[in-house]
Structure 1
Amino acid sequence: MFTTRPELAGTFGMVASTHWLASTAGMAMLEDGGNAFDAAVTAGFVLQVVEPHLNGPGGEVPAVFQAAGESEPRVLCGQGVAPAAATIDHYHDLGLELVPGSGLLAATVPGAWDAWLILLRDYGTKTLRDVLARAISYARDGFPVVPRIPVTIDAVADLFTEHWPTSAALWLPDGRPPAEGTRFRNPVLADTWERLLAEAESAGADREAQIEAGRRAWSQGFVAEAVDSFARRAVRDDSGRDHAGLLTGQDMAGWSATFEDALTVSLGDWTLVKCGAWTQGPVLAQQLLLLAGFADRLSYVDGVATAETIHIATECAKLAFADREAWYGDSADVPLDVLLSGQYVANRRSLVTDQASFELRPGSPAGRPPRLPAFAVPYFVPATETSGAIGEPTIGNSGVVRGDTVHLDVVDAAGNMISATPSGGWLQSSPTIPSLGFCLGTRGQMFTLEPDFASALKPGKRPRITLSPSMALRDGVPRMAFGTPGGDQQDQWQLCFWLAHTVGGLNTQAAIDAPNWHSGAFPSSFFPRYWQPGELIVESRVGTATIDDLRDRGHLVTDAGPWTLGRMSAVSRDPADGLLRAAANPRGMQGYAVGR
C-alpha cells in the first residue's frame, strides 16, 4: 500500500492535528514538561487562530480522553446550550421552520474556553499563560494564511461588505481577502486573551485559582458583557432576513463545561470510546456492530477496500444515520441501550441487501415507532442555490472536501491520551464582535423546530452535534485516539480508517491514506438540511472497476477525485513496549503529526 509519509514512532510523546502549527505547539508543550492535556489545550488555542474558518473562541469542543492511572475513559463536554429565550414558538413567530445556519439566532453558549480551562485545571500541569502564549503570539504577530481561508472569505465577501461590516473590517483588509501564504494578524483577539490572563493572574500565584478567575472573566465578566450587547442587534442570516440573537450574559454565567462518562462499546478485543447521543458519536458504534455480522465479506486488496466492503459499509451507515435522525439528541431520553443491543442490531442488519437502499429507515427500539422531522424528505439543492451566508463552512457541491471543524490527538509517555474535535465560531458563521476579535457559533442550527423530538430545540439543552472524537481501548487499555473534521461525514470517514486499520491491516498512516468514501443518503445536520437518497461519494483511487460495481448495485456514485475526503489524524500507544505512534492526513497538505 502506497503511503504519503511514514507513520511516526517514538517513546516521548506524539501530537497530530489538522494544522502543523498546532501540532508543533502541542509538541513544544510536551518538550517543556507538560503532559498530553497541557499539549491538547495549547494546540486547541492555536487552532482557533490559524484555522479561523473552521473554529474559533466562540465555538465548542467535545473530547474523549483517559488519564494515566485512571481506570475509565472520560468525556469533556464543551458544547454550550440553547439560550433561555430560545423556544420553538419564538422561531415560529418569526416565520421560520428551520434554525438559520448563520447569524445570531443560531448561537448557543460558547463552550470552548470553559472546556479547555477545566481540562487544564483537573488534568493539566501548566498555567493558563503557558498554554495561551503561542496562540497569543500567532494572533498578535501573525500566521501564514492557508489556501482555504481566502477562498472562504471570498465566498462571503458581499455578505460582509453589505451586512456584516465588523467582519469586513477584520477579514477584508483593503477591501479584499488576505492572500494565500501572506501573514495575517488578529491583534484584537490577542488583546482579549491578554485581558483574560490579566484578570486570571490577579487571583494570585495559585495555578487553579488563576484558572477559576479566567473562567469567571469569560462567563461573568467583560466577554459575557460584550456578547450580551452584540447579540441584541439584528443581523442578516441565511434565512435572507435580519434577526436579533437570543444569547445573553446570563446564559453564559449559568453554564459551565462538564466531564461525563464515556460511551463504550465492546468489539471483540477492541472497545470503542465515544461521546453520548448529544453528538452523533454513537453512529460509529452502531455501524461497527452492524458490520460485525458481515466480517467474512469485508476485505482489502493492496490496501484498498473492495466494492463489497464499500457497499455493505454504506448500507450499514444509512441504517445508523437514520436512527440518529429519529432518536439522537439532548431533549429526550435516547434508547441507546436498545439501539446498541444484539437483538436490535441483528434485526437492523437483516435489512442490508445486495442493492443500494433509497429509503430513510429508522428502527423501532423496544417497539417505539420512529418519527422523522419534516425536513427528512429526499430533496437535494446544490450549494449555489442557497443564500450568501454559510451555515456549514463547506465550499462547493457534493464530492468536494467538507470541512467544518478541526481535530487533534495527543499521547504522552505516561499513557495520557486525548482526542478532541473543536469547532464553531467560524469567521463566516456570524459577525465579528469588534471588541473581542471573534464571532459566535451557530450550532443551534442542528436543533429541530418540531416538539417531542430528541433533537428538538429547548432552552438549556445541547444541539445534537456532528463533532465526534474517538478513542479505542484494546484489552481494556487505551491504544488509539483518532478523529476527523467533516460534519456528517466524521463517523463515516472514521469508519473508513477503522476498517483499513483493523480489516485491511494497515498502520495508522496507511489507513489514513487509504481511499475514503461516504454516503449523503440522510438529512444533513446543517441548514438547509438537504439530502440525496442513494448518494455515494468515493475517492477515485478505489478504482474504476469498483466504481462500476457500486453503480451496478444502484448507488448514485460521485467520483470526488483521488485525494479529497477526510482530514483524519491519529495517535497510538502500545503498552507492551511503550512505543508511541502518530499519523496525519496528507489531503490539503496541512495536517501533520510530530513526535519523538
Structure 2
Amino acid sequence: MLHRPELHGTRGAVSSTHWLASATGMAMLDRGGNAFDAATAAALVIQVVEPHLNGPAGDVPILAYDAAAERALVICGQGPMPAAATPAAIHALGLAEVPGSGLLAACVPGAFGAWMRLLRDHGRLRVEDVLEPAIAYAEHGYPLLPKAAEMIEVLAPLFRDEWTESGRTYLHHGAAPAPGARMRNPDLARTYRRILAEARAATTDRAGQAEAACAAFYDGFVAEAIDRHLATAEAVDATGRRNRALLTGADLAGWRPTVEEPVAVDYRGYRVHKAGPWSQGPVFLQQLALLEGFDLGAMAFGGADHLHTVVEAAKLAFADREAWYGDPRHADVPLRTLLSPEYAAERRALIGDRASDVLRPGSPDGRAPRIPPVLDRPAPPPDAPDWLGQLDSGIPTVVLRTAARGDTTCVSVTDRDGNMVVATPSGGWLKSSPVIPGLGFPLGTRGQMTNLVEGHPNVLAPGKRPRTTLSPSLVLRDGRPHLAFGTPGGDQQDQWTLQFFLGHVDFGMNLQEAVEARTFHTDHPPTSFTPRLSNPRALVVERGFDARALAELERRGHEIREVPPHTLGKVCATGPTADGGVRAAASHRGEQAYAVVR
C-alpha cells in the first residue's frame, strides 16, 4: 500500500526535499515561469529552509532538458579549489589530508552562480521573482526541521565557544531552538536584498540582471566580505586546531559556472544522462552498463538474486570511481572506456555467486589503477568535547545512530512544454564551517573529497574541482523527455536512485511505487567524506525484506544490517506523461519531501 499517490497534472510538476520549496516552484509556474525559473526559486528557498544541508556557498550540479533546443545539458555549480591549494600547503601544516570541516577545505562557492546561469540562459522570470520567496522566509521565518534542530543542539557548545557567528545566527540567547520553532536569518535576507538591489540598479534587462546578481556575489560585496573575513580568520576544525582558509576573493572573481555536455548511456531503450567525472555521476552509468547483461525483470523483486546482482555491480563501479574519477580538465579520465560495452562485459565477468570483500578497480586501456590509501587517523582524545568528534566526520549530518552517512537536498521540475530540471544542491551546511559575518551563511568543505596522492585523478590542485558525490539524473525515451530525479544521501545517492530507476524500468513500477519500494545499499566503497569509512561486505537493507532472501544473502557472504523501514533515501522525481501531461513523485521518507502538480 502506497503512502502517497503518483501525482498527475497538466501545467507543471515540482518535487523537492522540502514542502515550502515545492510550493515556491509551483508558484513560479503559476506566474508564467518555466521549469528553469521554478527550479531556481525552489533551490533558493531550500538554501534558507534546509541550512543544515546546503547554502548559497555550497555546490550543485544542475541537469536540464531544454525542450525548444531539444538539448540536455549540465550546469556545473561545483567550484574549484583555491589557487593556493596544493598538497604541499596541506603537508606544511603537518596534515596528511584536508580536514572535513572548518575553513581549510573551502573551495569557490558554486551554487548561487549556477542558479543564476540557469535563470539567465533559460528562464522567463526576473531575479526579483525567484529571489523574493527566499528573502521572505529568511526575513520572516520558517519552521525549523527536526534534523536541523538536532544538529544545532549537538553543535551548540561549538557555536557558543568557537564559531560564534554561527551561534549568533542559529542560537536563541545561547540555546538551541526547538524543532518547529520559527527560524529567521536576517543577515541572509539582507544579503539577498542587496544582491537584488544591485541587479536592479545595473540594468532593466532580465538576463542582464541575472548576470549582475552573479557579479554582486563573485566580484562584489559578497566576495569582498568573504575575502576580508578570511584574510585574518582562524577557525577550529577536525584537527582540533585553528586553521586559516586558502580561499581568497580573487578565487571567486576568477570563476563563473560552465555549461557542459552530459555523459550518457543507453539502458533498455532509455537514454540516461549524468554529470561528468568531477561528480560521481558516471558510477550510475557504469552500474547500468554492468546490469544490462542480466535479466533483472525475471528475478523476484527483493529476492536474493536481485539484491546480490545489483550490489556486486555497485562494488565494481564504485571501485572505478575511487581509482579513476576526477576533474577531466586536470586529469586524464578514461571515461569513454569506462562506459564502453566491452569494458562492462569484462567487468561483468567478475560478478560471481559470493559477496566480494575486495575493492577491485579495473584497468581501462591497460592502465594500472591507483586507490588512495586508507590513512591511519588518530581518534579524538577521550576528553575532547563532543563537537570535535562531530567535526571529525565530514558528513552534513550529526553522527548519531542513523543508517545513512550523508545527506543533501533535491529539486526536480517538469513543465508542460517538456522542459525538465533536476539538481541536488549541497555544501555550505551549518556543520561545515563558521558563518561569514554579515552574510548569514558558511562556506563549503568540498575540498575534503580530494586526496594528496601525487598522480591520482582526484589529487588536490589549484583551480581543480573536487570529485563530488552530488548526482542528479535525467532520462530521455525515444529522444523525448521522460524523467528527472535525484535524492539526498552522499555516497549512497547513485545506489538509491539506481534502485528507483530499476524499479521503474525493469520491474514496471510507476514513479511513486518505485520511490516507496524497499531499498538497500552496500557500504563496500570508502566514503567520500572524512574519515572515509568502509565496510566491504556490509549490505544495509530496510526492514521488511523476505527473511529467506536475507538468509540466502548471508550464505553468499554478505553481512546484513537491517535498519528501520522507510529510512534510506528521499527520491524526488518529475517527468512528462505520454498524453502531454506531467507527473511527480516524492519520497515519504523523512516526512518532508513533497511533490506538487497543477
TM-score over 0.5 for the pair: yes
Q: Partners of 2:138 and 2:468 in 1: how far apart? A: 28
Q: Partners of 2:298 and 2:304 in 1: how far apart? A: 9
Shift of 1:402: 4.1
How many percent of aligned residue pairs carry the same amino acid?
52
Q: Which amino acid aligns with 2:321?
A: R
Shift of 1:501: 0.9
Match of 1:263 in 2: 263
Q: Which amino acid aligns with 1:252?
A: L
SS in 2 for 1:459: coil
Deviations 1:529-562 (A, max 9, x none): 1211111111012232222222121111110111
Match of 2:448 in 1: 445
Contact 1:493–1:518 (CA<8 Å) still a contact in 2? yes
Equivalent residues in 2 for 1:312-351, closer than 5 Å: 312-330=309-327, 331-351=330-350
Match of 1:487 in 2: 490
Does residue 583 of structure 1 match 2:585? yes
SS in 1 for 2:264: strand
- State how many pairs are aligned: 590
Equivalent residues in 2 for 1:7-406, closer than 5 Å: 7-232=6-231, 233-295=233-295, 299-301=299-301, 305-330=302-327, 331-375=330-374, 386-388=389-391, 390-396=393-399, 400-406=403-409
Distance 1:521 1:187, change over 3 A: same
Shift of 1:231: 2.0
Structure 1, unpaired ranges of 5+: none
Distance 1:378 1:561, change over 3 A: farther
Q: Which amino acid aligns with 1:268?
A: R
Deviations 1:224-279 (A, max 9, x none): 01111222311101122110001111000000001100111111311111000000
Q: Partners of 1:241 and 1:311 in 2: how far apart? A: 44
Distance 1:380 1:65, change over 3 A: farther
Q: Partners of 1:345 and 1:385 in 2: how far apart? A: 43
Q: Which amino acid aligns with 1:275?
A: A
Match of 2:383 in 1: none
Report the aligned-residue RMSD: 1.8
Deviations 1:570-590 (A, max 9, x none): 01113x410211000101100
Q: Partners of 2:298 and 2:135 in 1: how far apart? A: 48
Contact 2:436–2:442 (CA<8 Å) still a contact in 1? yes
SS in 1 for 2:291: helix
Q: Which amino acid aligns with 2:503?
A: A
Q: Which amino acid aligns with 1:592?
A: Y
Equivalent residues in 2 for 1:410-429, closer than 5 Å: 410-429=413-432
Q: Partners of 2:267 and 2:536 in 1: how far apart? A: 30
Shift of 1:61: 1.1
Q: Partners of 1:521 and 1:264 in 2: how far apart? A: 25
Shift of 1:298: 5.3
Structure 1: 4+ residue segments shifted above 4 A: 376-381, 387-390
Contact 2:393–2:529 (CA<8 Å) still a contact in 1? no
Contact 1:448–1:456 (CA<8 Å) still a contact in 2? yes
What TM-score comes out, normalization by structure 1 length?
Answer: 0.96
Shift of 1:158: 2.1
Match of 1:530 in 2: 533
SS in 1 for 2:579: coil
SS in 2 for 1:66: strand
Q: Partners of 1:419 and 1:243 in 2: how far apart? A: 36
Q: Partners of 2:534 and 2:579 in 1: how far apart? A: 47
Distance 1:488 1:30, change over 3 A: same
Q: Partners of 2:192 and 2:36 in 1: how far apart? A: 20
Deviations 1:402-426 (A, max 9, x none): 4421001000000100111111100
Distance 1:361 1:579, change over 3 A: same
Distance 1:387 1:187, change over 3 A: closer
Contact 2:82–2:462 (CA<8 Å) still a contact in 1? yes
SS in 2 for 1:492: helix
Distance 1:570 1:432, change over 3 A: same
Deviations 1:484-512 (A, max 9, x none): 01000000001110111112211100101
Contact 1:267–1:289 (CA<8 Å) still a contact in 2? yes
